[in-house]
Amino acid sequence: MKVLIPVDGSTYAKEAIVTALEEGFLEEKEVHLITVVEGTAAGRDSYLSDDVVQQILDAQAKAGSEILEQAKGLFDPNRQISGVFRVGDAAENILDYAKTIEADFIMMGTRGRGALGSMLLGSVSIKILQHAQCPVLIMKKKNY
Amino acid sequence: MKILMPIDGSNSSKNAMIRSLERGLLTGNDVHVFVAIPDKITGRGYHINPDVIEHVDESFEKHAKQTLEEAKGIFKRYNVEVTTDCAKGDAAKEILEYADKIKADLIIMGNRGLGAFSKTLLGSVSSKVLSQAKSSVLIVKEGE
């Protein structure tokens, strides 16, 4: 069974993975991580020099791979975890990738980056929940 | 894993059951299917004939029984064991209390139930359960 986990370097995304591992949600699952860095230097190149654009792209790629490495570090080192990095709209890329790998479900934590304090789900999570063609698992640490 | 599936006889909840069974998400788990029966139409009683109230209560109970029977039939088709239960009261409150009682590890539900407006992403019951659940919640959407 394939599970897609979007990660953004936030503590919420990290906590979702830690909880899922503790509570057995990822046992015998094929885990795919995705991180999306929003925005692109393209289109601004009319007034940015090629060097600057390249610097931005490099910095984005570095940030993306750091986020993926950090998330992979939460798993057993012997476990095969795949990770992809994309630049662009987060929800769109996550949904697109879920379709590509035919994910059985997408797993997300509550409140990723950029949400209002009072909201359970961030804007990206809401968009994913709205448009996902597979079930969506909202991880919450068990609290009985 | 102890899984609670609140159902209400709607297409959304039927779809959630069938899709979860098809994807093997329920196999090998301790699954509890639960129906909340609307409570007596108290408060309105003073201008409604007691016979009518009794009739409404009876039909709610009949609907709950039919919904659970139908669920048992669906689970049987997929050879998955299921426990069924019901309680009277406010749907979200009863679902959350039942989850507490059985210490559910996961709640699986459809995104819309009976009597929900079609435009919002989650029905009022699903939305309340998602925000107040003390465990993870898997949302299974319809028509994908």
The pLDDT of residue B122 is above 50: yes
CA neighbours within 13 Å on the CB side: how many for A89? 9
The pLDDT of residue A43 is above 50: yes
Let me know if residue A144 belongs to a domain: no
Tell me the three state secondary structure of residue A40. coil
Residues B136, A19: C-beta atoms closer than 8 Å: yes
The reported pLDDT for the residue numbered A47 is 73
Of B134, B136, B139, the CB nearest to A129: B139
Count the neighbouring beta carbons within 10 Å of the beta carbon of residue B32: 20
**Mean per-residue pLDDT of chain A:** 89
Mean pLDDT of A39-51: 66
**Confidence class for position A113, pLDDT limits 50, 70, 90:** very low
Mean pLDDT of A75-91: 95
- Domain ranges, ordered by start, for chain B: 2-140
What does the alpha-carbon distance between residue A111 and residue A12 come to, in Å, rounded to a whole number?
A: 6
The pLDDT of residue B48 is above 60: yes
Q: Look at chain A and report how many structural domains it folds into.
A: 1
Nearest CA in chain A to B133: A140
What's A65's domain CATH number?
A: 3.40.50.620
- Phi/psi of residue A10, nearest 5 degrees: -80, 160
**Confidence class for position A66, pLDDT limits 50, 70, 90:** very high
Residues A137, B138: C-beta atoms closer than 8 Å: yes
Mean pLDDT of A80-88: 94
B-chain residues near A135 (CB < 8 A): 19-20, 23, 25, 108, 138-141
Beta strand pairing status for A82-87 and A105-108?
Answer: unpaired
Let me know if residue A81 belongs to a domain: yes
Closest CA to B22 of B130, B105, B140: B140
Which tokens belong to A43?
């289109």
Residues A135, B103: C-beta atoms closer than 8 Å: no
Reported in sequence order, the residue ranges of chain B that DSSP labels E, i.e. its strands, are 2-6, 30-37, 83-88, 106-110, 136-140
Nearest CA in chain A to B1: A24
Q: What CATH class has B2-140? A: alpha beta
The pLDDT of residue A7 is above 60: yes
The pLDDT of residue A96 is above 70: yes
The reported pLDDT for the residue numbered B120 is 66
**Confidence class for position B41, pLDDT limits 50, 70, 90:** low
Does residue A113 contact residue A10 with C-beta atoms inside 8 Å? Answer: yes
Domain range for A76: 2-138
The pLDDT of residue B125 is above 60: yes
Nearest CA in chain B to A128: B121
Mean pLDDT of A1-8: 96
Let me know if residue A79 belongs to a domain: yes
Mean pLDDT of B26-42: 88
Nearest CA in chain B to A111: B131
Q: Which residues contact A90 (CB under 8 A, 6 or more apart)?
A: A6, A8, A36, A38, A124
The reported pLDDT for the residue numbered B50 is 77
Distance from CA of A23 to the nearest CA of B (A): 8
Tell me the per-residue pLDDT of B91-111, one tens digit each, with 9 for 90 and over.
999 999 999 999 999 999 998
% of chain B surpassing 90 pLDDT: 63
Q: Does residue B63 or residue B45 have the better pLDDT? A: B63
Of A19, A126, A144, the CB nearest to B134: A144
The reported pLDDT for the residue numbered B113 is 67
Let me know if residue A14 belongs to a domain: yes
Let me know if residue A143 belongs to a domain: no
ipTM, two decimals, is 0.88
A-chain residues near B21 (CB < 8 A): none
A101-115, B32-46, B81-95: which range is least confident on average?
B32-46
What does the alpha-carbon distance between residue B135 and residue B101 come to, in Å, rounded to a whole number?
A: 13
Interface test with A, best of B29, B103, B112, B136 (most A CBs within 10 A): B136
